[in-house]
Chain A
């Protein structure tokens, strides 16, 4: 009987593909976002708002992850954006391999910003590097302010947290003070933006921040 020591990270394969894609995206100076959040938190709505605000200044490409449908991709395409749909057929997260395939189907040479809308899920996508510069977590006030402590790994790994549907906060018992306290205890450096996709509140501030990120990445081109 022989024992063979391996000690290999199970996600190594994903991480290797991701770093290959990352260096290609870096060469092209494309700022890349991995957008994560529960189903219905407003990921597609936020993306539509971002597109509306910065489309005139920057070229945007989108990868839409969805379990089975093309509904979100159609919403994005309606705004005249270069979009590719990835159907995971039940898989609960996107992985780097899928992103590599998607990038074969889309022309990103002129893109300044690549947005990947992940599958609606607060748990699994946290483990998979998609070669993004930034994980943006979209959460809505209707989900309740206890979510950061219930799904901590996602809150720990995100650079940006969008608190969406702020227009509805007065109809809920969402405690903004507790929310900030809990989020900061998990991730001191996270940038939080309170927005409403229906009223447009806070969207400009978010887009100003993103434009800054896109421009500083584009400088390396």
Chain B
């Protein structure tokens, strides 16, 4: 059975597609047979970030509609073995996707021997985002260190708890992970941005990792390569850590803030502390 991971956020432009590309590529580097699915019908971004936009013939909608087989639509990455992309359509209507159709695709990917299915969600909390999360086993909630993004992530966490197949069937709830992206420790320290601590305080879920604000992300996406493939860069290295943590390696968090020594002892202290009392 493939493990289905949704990368979601509520708010737009926070780094879902960047993350989906790097998580999928990183999983494949780790030896897992992985496919990244672009659920952002009408916008189509994932293929650009992954550098396969010229090889798109069929897409998720054509498979759901039965116009192409899954094998025809899947694009095999040229750099990383085990990595596949199921692109979105730029021309089709968002309404073309339905729950049953997506369910069939996810199931078939499982029978094809995929270990991980990474679903790149569109922004928002409406139908498109709900379709992308419906079959997920785990969710990576991408958050930027600003109030509106954190609030949206909170809403998305509510939907993950209520509107997914696992929730509706009363199965074990989706496992949720927090990924803080575009983080700048210095700006958090000066109070210009929320700190990781502030974000965890509100969302109360496990921290999967912190990706620093980095020029490397822009460079990589302009070249059509997931930044994780440039693991010597700060953001690339951070994404590789995230992938390794996801598959079970215990790695310390980086890019939090050098002088912020007491972070863990504070966050994991047993007594609830007040944001206003101290």
A and B from one assembly?
Answer: no
Interface residues of A (CB under 8 A from B): none
